[in-house]
Amino acid sequence: MIRILLADDQHLVREALAALLGLEPGIEVAGQVGRGDEVAAAVAATRPDVVLLDIEMPGGDGLTVAAGLTGVRVIILTTFGRPGYLRRAMDAGVAGYVVKDARAGELADAIRRVHAGERVFDRKLAAASLSEGANPLTGRERDVLRAATEGGTIADIARRLYLSDGTVRNYLSSAIGKLGARNRAEAARAAEAKGWL
């Protein structure tokens, strides 16, 4: 019996996945949590074989949580097929990455293979990740761009990050250039789409 811990912030989706996996022979759902910061405790309490982690959750995103887990095999299960996320997931040492529009059989298959010691990554994403190369943004450019998506003015961003206006303008300009965009809105969208945010 493979014991699963489910982490997803949407209650209904979580229960639905539990119902789905419950139908699979040899797989058993040992626990469920709805927040990133509850995962570690739940792992300690239920000792699952495999953790299914969503990325976007309150209380810490799945990629960060995954990096902190030891002694369990982790599969990222998310809506977002962003190449950058896959890369970050691999860096975090996860054993699998499945997108939410995979078929039910694929998920079960991934769980069994991961439990058997294999690593399982979405094919399309893996290809996209290779063809696109690494994130071209520097750390600071990422910070500024992230703050820019919030919608504030340059002065707001500067205050939030304790930088001067001119510096913020420069980082934005550089990020815009690297991403082939024409303004920050476009740059932010492009970076987000690739999971570089």
Nearer residue to DNA within complex by CB, 37 or 186: 186
Contacts with DNA by CB under 7 A lie at: 138-141, 153-155, 162-167, 169-170, 172-173, 176-177, 182-184
Is 103 or 182 the residue whose CB approaches DNA more closely? 182
Q: Do 26 and 4 contact (CB within 8 A), yes or no?
A: no
CB of 26 or CB of 68, closer to a second copy: 26
Sheet of 50-53: strand order equals: 27-33, 2-7, 50-53, 73-78, 96-99, 120-121
- For residue 7, list its beta bridge partners: 33, 53
Residue 6 near residue 33, CB atoms below 8 Å? yes
- 21/191 with CB nearer DNA: 191
Dihedral-angle region of residue 156 (phi above 0 means left; psi in -120 to 50 means alpha; beta otherwise): alpha
Q: What are the residues binding a second copy (CB under 8 A)?
A: 9-13, 15-17, 19-20, 22-23, 34, 77, 79, 98-104, 107, 148-153, 181-186, 188-190
Q: Report which of 179, 178, 154 is spatially closest to residue 168, judged by C-alpha positions.
A: 154
Degrees, nearest 5: CA angle 163-169-172: 105
Q: Least distance in Å: CB of 144 to DNA?
A: 8
Interaction partner, residue 104 (a second copy, DNA, none; CB < 5-8 Å by kind)? a second copy
Partner in contact with 177, chosen from DNA, a second copy, none, beta carbon below 5 to 8 Å by kind: DNA
With CB under 5 to 8 Å by kind, the binding choice for 178 among a second copy, DNA, none is none
Task: Find the shortest distance in angstroms from Cβ 88 to DNA.
Answer: 17
Query: How near is the Cβ of 1 to a second copy at its closest, in Å?
Result: 19
Partnered with residue 5 across adjacent β-strands are 31, 51
Q: Which C-beta is closer to a second copy: that of 54 or that of 141?
A: 54
Tokens of 29: 């759902």
CA 171, CA 7: separation in Å to the nearest integer?
36
46 contact, one of DNA, a second copy, none, CB 5-8 Å limit per kind: none
